Structure 1
Amino acid sequence: MFFIQMSGFPGSGKSTLSRQIAKRTGAVIIDHDIVKSALLNSIENIPVDVKTGKISYNIDWSLIEFHLSQGQNVIFDSPCLYKEIVDKGISLSKKYSVKYKYIECYLNNFNEINYRLIKRESMTSQLREIRSEEAFKKTLESSKKPTDYEYLVVDTGKTIDSYMDKVINYINE
């Protein structure tokens, strides 16, 4: 069994890669954007604050833990911008004795990311455009990675077929 923690800037290809991994492995995907968008849509007339993000992550972790407890492989499709997210993923992997895997979708191309964000059908919680290249670079460099585990960084500027076998091999290690 495994738990995969996805990482990467919005629009970098996390969801696309997650879906391909799930197709090949039968893993369950917990998509943070789906959870957060559902939460935001259910509280339309209430001002959104920092608590919304925290609540949606708590829901994500509850779903992840449930599926791991049922013996299912899980992929967490979310940016990984906080150390706590990595720590929680590692902790749950240890608790359920599953392999911890971390895959970062990396695309250091401001224009391509913006093109993808603008082109996609966005959910309520999703970023629709990046206005500042400086903010993009800062966020890109801020992803948190595990320090005691091997991780995989894939160049999502290439076609998914060019790195999919590498991803599956990494998961199976």
Structure 2
Amino acid sequence: MAEERSGPPAAEKVVVAMKGHPGSGKSTAARAIASALRCPLLDKDDVRDCTLHLERAAGGSGMLNELSYAVLWRMAERQLQLGLSVVIDSPLSRREHLDMLASLPATLVVVVECRPSNEDEWRRRLEKRGVVLADAGADGWHKPKTWAELERLVEGYQGCTDYDIGDVPRIVVDTTDPMAGAEAITTRVMGFIRSLLTRAH
């Protein structure tokens, strides 16, 4: 099992970019993948959580959400310059965000798309997380805490999340499959990365 989860050679700089709606299991999978790769995990929510006071001052303009992405890309670029792979946890909801990732100095950019097939389980997890976030106060203030909030968010995307990713390699995982926990997803992703790197050489 240890060999199955071993990461790419140190010379290979890989960006693993999570993609998916809130509550779809991205963060759980991202943590497991970063642990297996032994590399930094950069979470857009960590940046966004710190902007509540700025959001209030700016009147909720949405500008700070884009600033959070800009900070995320800069941090990713710095880690890659240091020779490290990175896992990036964000919704990756717009094509321009993927374009920014593709321009980073990496050997390989891989998209891991989290698509829960069991909507009831997805809803249960989202609303359970909503209770935790409500208790936490400011942390996660920008995340949907109910299924209705998620539906409004997805409707606001107006389909922009379903874009053509071009030739960027992608693996789709069902995060509500009871047979596909974080460890199983990580094993699949690591095998996918290794196969891509082998093909590239």
TM interval, short-chain normalised: 0.7 to 0.9
C-alpha offsets along residues 93-116 of structure 1, whole Å, 9 cap, x if unaligned?
xxx242111110111443322211
Structure 1 runs, 4 residues or longer, greater than 6 Å off: none
Supply the distance in 1 between the matched residues of 2:118 and 2:154 (Cα, whole angstroms).
9
Question: 1:8, 1:140 within 8 Å by CA — same for their partners in 2?
Answer: no
C-alpha offsets along residues 139-158 of structure 1, whole Å, 9 cap, x if unaligned?
69634352112210001112
Question: 1:7, 1:80 within 8 Å by CA — same for their partners in 2?
Answer: yes
Supply the distance in 2 between the matched residues of 1:137 and 1:124 (Cα, whole angstroms).
17
Give the equivalent residue in structure 2 for 1:167: 189
The percent identity for this pair of structures is: 27
Aligned partner letter, 2:90: S
Q: Which residue of 87, 108, 115 maps to 1:99?
A: 108
Give the equivalent residue in structure 2 for 1:149: 168
Question: Are residue 15 (structure 1) and residue 32 (structure 2) matched?
Answer: no
**TM-score, structure 2 length as denominator?**
0.75
Aligned residue pair count = 170
Aligned partner letter, 2:144: L
Question: 2:80, 2:86 within 8 Å by CA — same for their partners in 1?
Answer: yes
Question: 2:144, 2:150 within 8 Å by CA — same for their partners in 1?
Answer: no
- Structure 1, unmatched stretches of 5+, are none
Q: Which residue of 115, 127, 131 maps to 2:144?
A: 127
Matches within 5 A, 1:58-73: 58-73=70-85
Give the equivalent residue in structure 1 for 2:44: 32
Q: 1:97 to 1:30 in 2, by over 3 A?
A: closer
Q: 1:145 to 1:169 in 2, by over 3 A?
A: farther
Question: 1:28, 1:73 within 8 Å by CA — same for their partners in 2?
Answer: yes
**TM-score, structure 1 length as denominator?**
0.86
Supply the distance in 2 between the matched residues of 1:170 and 1:157 (Cα, whole angstroms).
20
Supply the distance in 1 between the matched residues of 2:88 and 2:51 (Cα, whole angstroms).
17
- Structure 2, unmatched stretches of 5+, are 1-12, 134-139, 196-201
Q: Which has the larger radius of gyration?
A: 2
Cα deviation for residue 79 of structure 1 reads: 0.5
RMSD of Structure 2 on Structure 1 (CA): 2.4
Cα deviation for residue 135 of structure 1 reads: 5.1
C-alpha offsets along residues 45-104 of structure 1, whole Å, 9 cap, x if unaligned?
552211011111111111111111111111110002101011111111xxx242111110
Question: 1:7, 1:143 within 8 Å by CA — same for their partners in 2?
Answer: no
SS at match of 2:114: strand
SS at match of 2:88: strand
SS at match of 2:23: coil
Question: Are residue 3 (structure 1) and residue 12 (structure 2) matched?
Answer: no
